[in-house]
Structure formats: structure tokens, C-alpha cells
Structure 1
């Protein structure tokens, strides 16, 4: 798992800044969706 994580980290280094920002925004959106789902389930 650590080796896989390191490989992903090395791949990210190849991306330029714009692509890193796009990936970060995409991850943030996914996290927000997951949190919303958890909150909705908690209220039900």
C-alpha cells in the first residue's frame, strides 16, 4: 500500500500546477458529496 501511495505521489509530481489544482478541486467536491450523504443519513 505504501509503495502504491509513493507511486501515486510520483505521478502527481509529473502534473503541472493547473492539473494539480483541478485534481484538488475534484477531490474537495467528492469529499463534500460524501459528507453531505453522511449528514443526510444521520438525520434520517
Structure 2
């Protein structure tokens, strides 16, 4: 299942993998295990 969430805490709590896209390019593709909220919030900067 693919979900488009803009709530990093919720994404970490229910997801098993996070794929972050910026300007049409994948900038993050990692399992949620070991991924931190600051790393996810960084996707929204820039």
C-alpha cells in the first residue's frame, strides 16, 4: 500500500518505508526503522 502523508510522526508510526520526493526526484528512500523525525522534517526544508 502507498500512502501520501504530510505528517512525519504518523508516517513513522504506521509506515515501514519512507520515500521522500522533492521537485520530482526521490531524495529519501529508507526503512522507517532508525529514521528520525528531524530527518523527515528536513524533507520540508529547501
Could you tell me the TM-score, scaled by structure 1's length? 0.26
Q: Which has the larger radius of gyration?
A: 1
The structure showing larger relative contact order (alpha-carbon pairs under 8 Å, at least 6 residues apart) is 2
Could you tell me the TM-score, scaled by structure 2's length? 0.26
